[in-house]
Amino acid sequence: MSWGFETDAEYQVELDWVEEFVRTEVEPVDMLVEHAWDVTDPRRNELIVPLQQQVKDRKLWGCHLGPELGGPGYGQVKLALLNEIIGRTHSGPVVFGCQAPDSGNAEILAHFGSPLLKERYLQPLLDGETMSAYSMTEPRGGSDPTRFVTRAVRDGDEWVIDGEKWFSSHARFASFLVVLAVTDPDAPPHERASMFVVPTDTPGVEIVRNVGVWAHPEAEGTHAYVRYHGVRIPADHLLGERGRGFAVAQTRLGGGRIHHAMRTVGLVRAALDMMLERAVSRETRGAPLADFQLVQDMLAESWIQLEQFRLLVLQTAWKIDKFNDYRKVILDISAVKAAMPKVLLDVAGRAIQVHGSLGVSTEMPFGQWVLESFHMGLADGATELHKIQVAKQLLRGRRANPDLFPSGHLPARLAAARDKYAAALNVAPEAADELEAVISHV
């Protein structure tokens, strides 16, 4: 058995290189590129593609992928340590080939795609030549797949898709969309839908508008409201079996949730680092902010939250590596997902307070991170749903106590202890009194 918290020396060398590379190369690119996902942007390609090649040469490209898909097969723990560094940047995940939503879409294509789909859609995605979008949420049904109404009907050698999808992130940059649509409306709730690959340029695919979110200073939003008007795709563009779309989605979402958490560790650490710098740099009333106890309290609380969250993320990643089955780690993944928004909100909020008026200005990133925490509380399942999942998993297998009082009831435990040690208690009165005194304090 091994139980350690030290990164192996060989991989630490790579992490040290990544830290320097991100600081000197990737972070400056963030200031110049609006959307790292936009492969049609000449400036983006001029700046990001050479960085991607450096990552590939270093054999750090697509670290979420196994060797069979061209990745190094590092596993989730090493991916978490990498994402802690690149997660504080906008362009970093794209530069390293592990960006959302493409990492999750690649995972389900690898698991459920036919050889044709892998060649046509997966390989260009893995090579960083194309982008994709996940088109699941609906305007009325939200993220509840049992309430979806977008339909896919088989017509000869084709599927015909009709309906609307909401918040299909990065659809405007995507070469294809992964779409969840109802194929069997009379089946049990979680067996009604199927998953499909839909090329974005298919006739009938309409991006009604690209929705923006607060605190993202972009000319056009990146979360698409999409309508599907009689969209015809080949029958072989089905991912997995008919009616198994929900199961396919869970395969994708399990990885997506933990990867979001890994990157969030990087954002939280960046906020804490900025707070620490501000605390020792800014003076008021004749002393640095760092000398004031309420500021010290904010710093301490932030570090404690960060480290607690980071260890939960790393333990969850370790379990995923161990079991190689997201279903066996569902409690941990849900716990990570539920904890993530509050950690970022709390630490970014304290960073605003320590920076004063500068903190609430658009000249610092904290306002965007605060709003991002609310986005994290919704993406890939609302926080409340994940808390419910955690509780359900904890309660699974628990049996009710048939007795009048709980099993931890002290009088009952004392009576049981007296029965257990009755012979000893009857040996000598003074010894019995001493033993009973010990028992009564258990």
| Angstrom distances, CA of residue 8 to CA of 229, 321, 385 | 53, 16, 37
Task: With respect to residue 144, please indicate whether it lies within any of the assigned structural domains.
Answer: yes
pLDDT in the model for residue 64: 83
Q: Are 130 and 40 in contact (CB under 8 A)?
A: no
Q: Using alpha carbons, select from 25, 87, 81, 31 the residue that is nearest to residue 372.
A: 87
Question: Is the same domain home to 301 and 356?
Answer: yes
Q: Are 274 and 198 in contact (CB under 8 A)?
A: no
For the stretch 279-293, what's the b/e string if a residue is b when 16 or more beta carbons lie within 10 angstroms of its beta carbon?
beeeeeeeeebbeee
pLDDT in the model for residue 57: 95
DSSP 345-389: HHHHHHHHHHHTHHHHSTTSSHHHHHHHHHHHTTTTS-HHHHHHH
Question: Is the same domain home to 221 and 251?
Answer: no
pLDDT in the model for residue 1: 43
Task: With respect to residue 418, please indicate whether it lies within any of the assigned structural domains.
Answer: no
Helices H / strands E in the chain, number of each? 17, 10
CA dihedral 230, 236, 241, 246 (to 10 degrees): -50
Alpha-carbon Rg for the chain in angstroms? 26
Residues 6+ apart with CB under 8 A from 39: 45, 129, 130, 131, 173
Domain that holds residue 49: 9-99
Task: With respect to residue 215, please indicate whether it lies within any of the assigned structural domains.
Answer: yes
pLDDT in the model for residue 318: 94
Last residue of a domain, one of 210, 239, 268: 239
Report residue 233 as tokens.
């795709």
Q: Are 239 and 112 in contact (CB under 8 A)?
A: yes
Question: Is the same domain home to 254 and 354?
Answer: yes
Question: Is the same domain home to 266 and 225?
Answer: no
Total domains in the chain come to: 3
Q: Are 268 and 83 in contact (CB under 8 A)?
A: no
**Placement of tokens 């200031």 in the chain:** 31
CATH number at residue 84: 1.10.540.10
Instruction: Look at phi and psi of residue 10 and say left if phi exceeds 0, alpha if psi is from -120 to 50, else beta.
Output: alpha
pLDDT in the model for residue 5: 86
- The 3-class SS string of 306-336 reads HHHHHHHHHHHHHHHHHHCCHHHHHHHHHHH
Task: With respect to residue 416, please indicate whether it lies within any of the assigned structural domains.
Answer: no
The alpha carbon of 355 is separated from its chain's Cα centroid by a whole number of angstroms, namely 28
Question: Is the same domain home to 204 and 270?
Answer: no
CA dihedral 184, 185, 189, 191 (to 10 degrees): 0
Q: Are 85 and 27 in contact (CB under 8 A)?
A: no
Question: Is the same domain home to 251 and 235?
Answer: no
Q: Rounded CA gap, 298 and 110, in Å? A: 44
Question: Is the same domain home to 261 and 369?
Answer: yes
pLDDT in the model for residue 325: 86
Task: With respect to residue 83, please indicate whether it lies within any of the assigned structural domains.
Answer: yes
196 strand-pairing partners: 179, 238
CATH number at residue 221: 2.40.110.10
Helix, strand, coil proportions of the chain in percent (round to 5)? 55, 15, 30
Task: With respect to residue 329, please indicate whether it lies within any of the assigned structural domains.
Answer: yes
Q: Rounded CA gap, 174 and 169, in Å? A: 9
Strand, coil or helix: 82? helix
pLDDT in the model for residue 71: 74
Angle at 52 between CA 49 and CA 58, to 5 degrees: 150
Report residue 127 as tokens.
């090579």
Question: Is the same domain home to 316 and 298?
Answer: yes
CATH number at residue 265: 1.20.140.10
pLDDT in the model for residue 65: 79
What is the separation, in whole angstroms, between the first and last Cα of the chain? 32
Question: Is the same domain home to 277 and 371?
Answer: yes
Query: Which amino acid type is present at position 428?
Result: A
Question: Is the same domain home to 220 and 252?
Answer: no
Report residue 87 as tokens.
């997660």
Question: Is the same domain home to 303 and 353?
Answer: yes
| Angstrom distances, CA of residue 274 to CA of 22, 42, 359, 381 | 17, 32, 10, 30
284 strand-pairing partners: 287
- Find the helix or strand (DSSP H, E) in which 79 lies: helix 76-86
Report residue 264 as tokens.
């969030």
- Sequential pLDDT tens for the chain (442 residues): 456 788 999 999 999 999 999 999 999 999 999 999 999 999 999 999 999 999 999 999 988 877 877 678 888 999 999 999 999 999 999 999 999 999 999 989 998 999 999 999 999 999 999 999 999 999 998 988 899 999 999 999 999 999 999 999 999 999 999 999 999 999 999 999 999 999 999 999 999 999 999 877 777 899 999 999 999 999 999 999 999 999 999 877 777 888 899 999 999 999 999 999 999 999 999 999 999 999 999 999 999 999 999 999 999 999 999 998 888 999 999 999 999 999 999 999 999 999 999 999 999 999 999 999 999 999 888 999 999 999 999 999 999 999 999 999 999 999 999 999 998 888 655 555 665 566 566 5
Last residue of a domain, one of 239, 256, 290: 239
Question: Is the same domain home to 251 and 379?
Answer: yes
Q: Are 345 and 400 in contact (CB under 8 A)?
A: no
Query: Looking at 125-204, which runs of residues are DSSP E strands?
Result: 132-135, 151-155, 158-169, 176-182, 193-199
Task: With respect to residue 113, please indicate whether it lies within any of the assigned structural domains.
Answer: no
**Number of residues written out for the chain:** 442
Q: What is the pTM of this model?
A: 0.90
**Placement of tokens 């257990």 in the chain:** 420
